[in-house]
Amino acid sequence: MKAMFVDLYPSTVDSIPFHIIDRPPRVKRCVGFRAACGAVDGCDVTSDPRPAKPAPQAIDTKTFWRALGVRACAVAVVTAQDADGPSGFLALSATHVCADPPLLMVSIDKRTASLAVVLQARHFAINYLPRGEEALADMFSGKTGRRGTDRFASGRWRQLTTGAPILDDAIGALDCKLEDTIERFEAVIAIGRLVDFVSRGDGEPLLYFRGGYR
């Protein structure tokens, strides 16, 4: 009897390697009595008539950011303020944890200066920038060399409930009381309870997509 082959979707096959750009090769399952390869019924036939795929790549930092470029996200500046003044940084890791209780999180690199301020002040605010604030975003990402309180010389800032700096021109801002921290690898995940917020109600958000602002 002639062997037949049916496609298995990659999601059903645990051993499919991760390919960044190419689709994983389809694996065919032999359902004939005896496959051409001489194997028994029902075996997974991994030989593919197409040329062999390269081995899965290791994900270095550059590749990681290129991969993350597929995710369009709102540009956010995370801020906090202690006795020494305000501190802030560009943070695209800011997102929500859950709605009940109302928790947000931001992953803060251990080298980011604001980490100490967030831990000391026990709060942080997530400020979503409007379109046109690319220069402010660059400054808070360290590109201009301005550090610490100097970064707050640009823009008008105020406070809501926690005392974290809120950008007046922000599309919206989420004011959070620090609830918990999780230290993993080279980062500290700060989890905050939303205690106050502002929403401008108009304007277009500044987005980050494929390595650039949109």
Please, what is the minimum distance in Å from the beta carbon of residue 149 to ligand FMN? 10
Positions 129 through 158 that interact with ligand FMN (CB under 6 A): 141-142, 147
The site map against ligand FMN for 94-133 (x = CB under 6 A) is: -------------xxx--xxx-------------------
122 backbone φψ class: left, alpha, beta (φ>0; ψ -120 to 50) = left
Q: Which residues of 178-195 are buried (b: 16+ CB within 10 A; e: fewer)?
A: beeeeeeeebbebbbbbe
Give min distance, CB of 107 to ligand FMN, in A: 5
Torsion, Cα of 154, 160, 162, 168 (10° steps): -20
Residue 104: burial class (beta carbons within 10 Å; 0-12, 13-18, 19+): buried
Name the residue nearer to ligand FMN (CB basis): 27 or 76.
76
Which of 27, 35, 80, 89 touches ligand FMN by CB under 6 A?
89
Are 130 and 96 within 8 A, CB to CB? Answer: no
Q: Which residue is nearest to ligand FMN (CB)?
A: 142
Instruction: Count the residues of the shown chain that bind ligand FMN, applying the rule CB under 6 A.
Output: 15
Q: How far is the CB of 159 from ligand FMN (least distance, A)?
A: 20
